[in-house]
Structure 1
Amino acid sequence: MMRFSIVTLGCKVNAYESQFYGKALKEKGWTEDDENFDVIVVNTCAVTNTAAAKSRQMLHRAKKKNPDAYAVVIGCYAQVATPEEKEKIGADLLIGSKDKKKVADLIESHIKTRERFEDIQPVGERFDFEAMPIEQFETKHRAFLKVQDGCNQFCSYCIIPYARGRERSLALDEVVSIAKKLEQKGHLEIVLTGIHTGRYDDGEHDLVDLLEALLANTSEKVTYRLSSIEITEISDRFIALMAREPRILHHLHIPVQSGCDATLKRMNRPYTIQEFQDRVEVIRHSIPDVSISTDVIAGFKQESDEEFEQTMENLTAIGFSFLHVFPYSIRKGTAAEKMPGTVHGAVVKERVERLLEQSRQLRAKDMARFKEGDVLIEQQEGDEWTGYTNQYHPVRIESEIPLSGRLHVTFDSIEDDHYQVKVKKEDENAIK
């Protein structure tokens, strides 16, 4: 019996795709073994030079553990690597942004001969969306459903349009079919994910059409969440649907990247900070209990102290619920690579720390708005259960009774960026 191991780097879309690769290999009768494996699959990231280097390191580390393992490198870095880099990688099989769903068949076809094989298609060609359905997630009530891939935006710092190709989406009927199967397996929350989820377009339907179809074809107990969405993709129709449908959970992750117009312009982001803030105000007017988190890049090319302070000020003014903070790292092949004005690493590190502290303050302020809420239980360790609220704030529940599914609880306190809840036996009926 063949054994495999999968190493995943990068984004949530990569994490989803890795689960599909594991499922496909198990369907061939293979077993997953992270210690003694015949095949190592590295699902790579190329968003920064550091991520690309780490992708190489992960493969070399695995090969050191098992020198005879058949080595597969798949995904973004495989797509954009130069011939010299591919030689350094030392993989037996390289698969780019197309034919990912064929990974199990490609491994099976080439592992016997051990001849090096590349399946890298030019991203200038339009790829069809490759459906990678996963109908059951083993350990959580939350499930993920990839509905979109690719990017047409070409932000100056980003390699993704070159690594994943142009935007494409899974047909609405197929999305609905997968969602119904996820419900049958007991999943209570479905997260729609993609590189640009908000630009879902299967040629006939947009994101709002898709959400309406999902709501109509799954039961009242199933809720939906978006992994992220751009501010320019939030239409009035979307806001109206989210406002009237509590099953679309009231959390949005909207990347801002910078709070300074000059920085945003160099990043080639399609909005000003005022336009971003005005749209957020429209969303909050219609959905007062919504929580909005964001991504921020610290130390982008030419970011002055004044620009960074403006970013800090505007992030506070917008009132995000928390920040995902990324230090800027040069990526070969992007427009920003050739820009002058690299910010010193020590300055970038300091700015990252300040943004992380700001995130902690923003999270505490947003969490303080809520005294109670619904929680989807995801994990258990002893007498402690953990999960997330509808607004995507983390919760720890100490309970004398077993917990599962979705519960409504009153929060006792906030500690370490978590709501704390204690449940006693006599509370059993109250929390259901």
Structure 2
Amino acid sequence: MKFSIITLGCKVNAYESQYYAGQLEELGYEQVSPEQPCDICIINTCTVTNTAASKSRQKIHYAKRMNPNALCVVVGCFVQFANEEERKALDADLVIGAKQKNELVKLIQQALNEHEKIDVVNEVTQFKDFEAMPVHFFESMHRAFLKVQDGCNQFCSYCAIPFARGRERSLDHNQVIQIAKDLCDRGHSEIVLTGIHTGRYFDGEYHLANLLKDLLENTPEHVYYRISSIEITEVTDELIHLMQENPRMCHHLHIPIQSACNETLKRMNRPYTIEEFKEKINYIRSCIPDISISTDVIAGFVQESDEEFETTYKNLADLELSFFHVFPYSKRNGTKASTLKGEINGKIAKARVARLLELSNACREKDMQRFNPVQVLIERKQDGYYTGYTNQYHPCKILSDAPLSGRITIEWERIEEGTYYGKKDVVCD
């Protein structure tokens, strides 16, 4: 039998889709693209904004249109956040919310055998245990991802994730170590710890820094570790010390700021002030001078005045972060922010996004100039170039006729559109 997967939303969703594919392939199912004929269509949904929810609905309709006789499986945040009537309107054969996702294959087989529609969306209050979804191999990649945490307790005013994924929960640290060992045995040389709130990992006495320390001690010396994203309030002294002392910890942190203006942060229900954020960034840099720190920013949040935006712009320029992911604010019904008056005109929000992206490009160029030579993990060959990311998570392309693989050090020749370019004859090792 053949199956396809459409994935929307975050890196955690991408990880979970990889898990679904691996489980089905182990049973002999063949993955094809969503445009091809198949027997099972899986749509892994997102609900973080109204736009994301709308895209999820569109993709569900698209999958049913392309393969009207296939089993339609809808999973994830969108259906978890939707009410029963909205879920029925999708006319899917199998609907799975944020719980029992690790049973997706078993539920697919049940739906195929029973020829009846199945809905297994549970109340988020029931989500107490972490459901392990180990992925043991990432094809054609030296970098692997390991989901260690799920859920969120923060309740930012614009975000539906706590309602869609439930409260925070973490994977047992012994299971984390075993999965990491399996990934190493299969040839992966960099492991990225990921989750909805990765920095809130907690398993008994094990916080994130304890977990990373054990991972470093129990995996080969050539294997490096990276954190996908972490809140400023979660960057502990223990974690900073570990990154400072162990060269196998990649010197990059992605720390979402969302706004750099206190008034906006307060409406967002973010748990820090811009002064506290700046102070912590300066402290991290004082301990790890060669670290790069990137961020997420929301432009045009509800009631964001011109003055508030200019404050955000100025503070971001002062922080000199390595790059920004910039998003225009998009309302999500059911969140606190959706009840506030004072939505920003779309053209204004778009202009603010453009200014921040221009600033981000300048910041990345400046940050990249700090490093030469650079250490690069080669991931694939594309258009004649070997491509990968540096320790500080800047993209790199290397022109080489001879095969390149693994982690190498090069001196780059130029920076073009946020990418290092180098040649084989200047590879240092």
Query: Quick check: 1:251–1:391 contact (8 Å CA) kept in 2?
Result: yes
Q: Paired residue for 1:166?
A: 167
- TM (norm. structure 2) is 0.98
SS in 2 for 1:407: strand
Q: Paired residue for 2:141?
A: 140
Query: Quick check: 1:294–1:322 contact (8 Å CA) kept in 2?
Result: yes
- TM (norm. structure 1) is 0.97
Read off the aligned partner of 1:341 and give its amino acid letter: G
**Correspondence 1:110-259 to 2 at 5 A:** 110-259=111-260
Q: Paired residue for 1:29?
A: 28
Tell me the CA shift for residue 65 of structure 1.
1.1
Tell me the CA shift for residue 382 of structure 1.
4.6
Q: Paired residue for 2:428?
A: 431
Between the aligned partners of 2:420 and 2:162, the Cα distance in structure 1 is 38
Tell me the CA shift for residue 215 of structure 1.
0.5
Query: Quick check: 2:128–2:167 contact (8 Å CA) kept in 1?
Result: yes
Between the aligned partners of 2:205 and 2:97, the Cα distance in structure 1 is 28
Deviation digits for residues 137-171 of structure 1 (CA, Å, limit 9, x no counterpart): 11100000000000000000000000000000001
**Correspondence 1:276-425 to 2 at 5 A:** 276-424=277-425
**More deviation in 107-116 or 366-375?**
107-116
**More deviation in 106-115 or 338-347?**
106-115
Q: Paired residue for 2:17?
A: 18
Query: Quick check: 1:323–1:356 contact (8 Å CA) kept in 2?
Result: yes
Q: Which runs of 5+ in 2 are unaligned?
A: none
Query: Quick check: 1:48–1:330 contact (8 Å CA) kept in 2?
Result: yes
Read off the aligned partner of 2:170 and give its amino acid letter: S
Between the aligned partners of 2:208 and 2:422, the Cα distance in structure 1 is 36
Tell me the CA shift for residue 97 of structure 1.
0.6
Between the aligned partners of 2:162 and 2:204, the Cα distance in structure 1 is 20
SS in 2 for 1:371: coil
SS in 1 for 2:298: strand
Between the aligned partners of 1:44 and 1:237, the Cα distance in structure 2 is 36
Read off the aligned partner of 1:247 and give its amino acid letter: R
Q: Paired residue for 2:70?
A: 69
Between the aligned partners of 2:40 and 2:141, the Cα distance in structure 1 is 27
Query: Quick check: 2:387–2:395 contact (8 Å CA) kept in 1?
Result: yes
Read off the aligned partner of 1:348 and give its amino acid letter: A
Read off the aligned partner of 1:346 and give its amino acid letter: K
Read off the aligned partner of 1:155 and give its amino acid letter: C
Tell me the CA shift for residue 77 of structure 1.
0.5
Query: Quick check: 2:99–2:127 contact (8 Å CA) kept in 1?
Result: no
Tell me the CA shift for residue 416 of structure 1.
1.5
SS in 2 for 1:378: strand
Between the aligned partners of 2:84 and 2:50, the Cα distance in structure 1 is 16
Deviation digits for residues 396-417 of structure 1 (CA, Å, limit 9, x no counterpart): 1001211011101011110111
The percentage of counterpart residues that share the same residue type is 56
Between the aligned partners of 2:127 and 2:148, the Cα distance in structure 1 is 17
**More deviation in 26-35 or 207-216?**
26-35
Query: Quick check: 1:239–1:283 contact (8 Å CA) kept in 2?
Result: yes
Tell me the CA shift for residue 27 of structure 1.
1.5
Tell me the CA shift for residue 113 of structure 1.
3.0
Q: Paired residue for 2:4?
A: 5
SS in 2 for 1:376: strand
Between the aligned partners of 1:163 and 1:293, the Cα distance in structure 2 is 26
Q: Paired residue for 1:90?
A: 91
Deviation digits for residues 259-294 of structure 1 (CA, Å, limit 9, x no counterpart): 100000000000000000000000000000000000
Q: Which runs of 5+ in 1 are unaligned?
A: none
Tell me the CA shift for residue 78 of structure 1.
1.1
Query: Quick check: 1:98–1:127 contact (8 Å CA) kept in 2?
Result: no
Query: Quick check: 2:146–2:192 contact (8 Å CA) kept in 1?
Result: yes
Q: Paired residue for 2:45?
A: 44
SS in 1 for 2:352: helix
Between the aligned partners of 2:28 and 2:167, the Cα distance in structure 1 is 34
Read off the aligned partner of 2:64 and give its amino acid letter: K
Report the number of matched residues.
Answer: 427
Between the aligned partners of 1:61 and 1:400, the Cα distance in structure 2 is 42
Q: Paired residue for 2:261?
A: 260
Query: Quick check: 1:193–1:226 contact (8 Å CA) kept in 2?
Result: yes
Query: Quick check: 1:144–1:191 contact (8 Å CA) kept in 2?
Result: yes
Tell me the CA shift for residue 111 of structure 1.
1.7
Tell me the CA shift for residue 9 of structure 1.
0.3
SS in 2 for 1:277: helix
Q: Paired residue for 2:110?
A: 109
RMSD: 1.0
Between the aligned partners of 2:84 and 2:173, the Cα distance in structure 1 is 38
SS in 1 for 2:396: strand
Query: Quick check: 1:377–1:387 contact (8 Å CA) kept in 2?
Result: yes
Deviation digits for residues 38-71 of structure 1 (CA, Å, limit 9, x no counterpart): 0100000000011011011111111111111110
Between the aligned partners of 1:210 and 1:216, the Cα distance in structure 2 is 10
Tell me the CA shift for residue 373 of structure 1.
1.2
Between the aligned partners of 2:113 and 2:175, the Cα distance in structure 1 is 35
Tell me the CA shift for residue 125 of structure 1.
2.4
Read off the aligned partner of 1:420 and give its amino acid letter: Y
Between the aligned partners of 2:86 and 2:358, the Cα distance in structure 1 is 38
Query: Quick check: 2:48–2:161 contact (8 Å CA) kept in 1?
Result: yes
- Structure 1 segments (4+ residues) deviating >3 Å: none
Read off the aligned partner of 1:29 and give its amino acid letter: G
SS in 1 for 2:203: coil
SS in 1 for 2:18: helix
